[in-house]
């Protein structure tokens, strides 16, 4: 591996991992700068969780290298584990203990003295606005509260890098918002966060940089805005009155519009890049009128990460 930048908390180079005939990681390389949020996007089976498990020393790659805080995840596992925290898709808490007791327990397991663990628990309960529920058993907590406490438990030992593997899966919108605020607070404290998610609005809001992976490979990376520009400056969404007309209109538009418009038909909608803005939209309306296709709605908009995701990934067969 080439020398790493002092500003990089995580560096992955040509990582490969297979499970039988399934290739989970296929020469994957990426990096995360210190004190930033790296969002990792990908469909089911893309290799996101496998990557996190390797970076957290829970799995060993077949080949390639990975450094976390400058330490090799294979040969220097204890050094890596001292500096990281991992929160998976499901809260790892003792439901018979209170919130405060869970935090103290994790602190003691991390080697903190009892008084230090209690002091750290009080600080985190205040920080995550959970003081009022501190003495309640976790079994009485909502899903959002459990997730917040789970993340807090990972911060007891003051990690340098936090790995969050789809932390808001199954949460309601209010609870998701709460977790988002926690991630933003980690960044404010200078902690590096590696976030895997399938919620594109989540990645868009939280990430400084995004890496899109598919079938174990990086297919795109950059800031959210950089990725959106790859889809096109402006998109035109067309909703048809009759879904049966979609392919017919798409075929006409493909012939008469610039090839850069990338016309795509899905059910009763057509999406294309409006390279000439309003003029492109006018051409779509005129073409539909000529062949007798009814339009229910048509409009222009800027690209979203949803568009990036659909453009860069393909359905997984795993």
Residue 90 has what pLDDT? Answer: 62
Residues pairing with 272 in the sheet: 236
Q: Which residues of the chain have pLDDT under 50?
A: 1-4, 316-318
Closest CA to 260 of 249, 274, 248, 246: 274
Work out the widest C-alpha separation in the chain, in whole angstroms. Answer: 78
Q: Tell me: the pLDDT tens digits for 261-285?
A: 889 898 999 999 898 999 999 999 9
Q: What is the pLDDT of residue 117?
A: 92
Q: What is the pLDDT of residue 89?
A: 64
Q: What is the pLDDT of residue 4?
A: 46
pLDDT of the residue at 232: 66
In angstroms, the CA 54 to CA 47 distance is 11
Q: What is the pTM of this model?
A: 0.74
| Pairing state between β 192-197 and 161-165 | parallel
Assigned token pair, 217: 């490979």
Q: Cα–Cα distance between 33 and 191 in angstroms, integer?
A: 10
């Amino acid at each position: 591996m080439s020398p790493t930048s002092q500003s990089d908390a995580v560096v992955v180079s040509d990582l490969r991992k297979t499970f039988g005939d399934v290739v989970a990681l296929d020469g994957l390389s990426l990096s995360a700068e210190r004190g930033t949020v790296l969002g990792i996007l990908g469909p089911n089976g893309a290799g996101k969780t496998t990557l996190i498990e390797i970076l957290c020393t829970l799995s060993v790659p077949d080949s390639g290298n990975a450094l976390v805080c400058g330490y090799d995840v294979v040969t220097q596992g204890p050094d890596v584990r001292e500096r990281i925290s991992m929160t998976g898709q499901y809260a790892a808490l003792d439901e018979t203990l209170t919130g405060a007791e869970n935090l103290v327990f994790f602190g003691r397991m991390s080697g903190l003295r009892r008084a230090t663990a209690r002091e750290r628990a009080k600080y985190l309960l205040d920080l995550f606005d959970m003081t009022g529920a501190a003495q309640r058993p976790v079994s009485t907590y909502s899903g959002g509260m459990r997730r917040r406490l789970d993340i807090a438990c990972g911060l007891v030992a003051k990690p340098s890098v936090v790995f969050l593997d789809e932390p808001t899966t199954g949460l309601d919108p209010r609870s998701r918002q709460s977790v988002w605020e926690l991630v933003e607070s980690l960044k404010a404290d200078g902690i590096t966060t590696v976030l895997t998610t399938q919620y594109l609005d989540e990645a868009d809001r939280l990430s400084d940089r995004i890496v899109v992976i598919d079938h174990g490979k990086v297919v795109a990376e950059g800031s959210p805005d950089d990725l959106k520009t790859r889809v096109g400056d402006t998109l035109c969404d067309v909703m048809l009155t009759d879904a049966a007309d979609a392919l017919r209109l798409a075929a006409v538009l493909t012939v008469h519009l610039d090839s850069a418009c990338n016309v795509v038909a899905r059910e009763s909608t057509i999406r294309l890049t409006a390279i000439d803005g309003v003029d492109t939209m006018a051409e779509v309306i005129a073409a539909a009128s000529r062949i007798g296709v009814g339009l229910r709605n048509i409009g222009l908009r800027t690209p979203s990460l949803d568009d990036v995701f659909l453009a860069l990934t393909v359905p997984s067969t795993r």
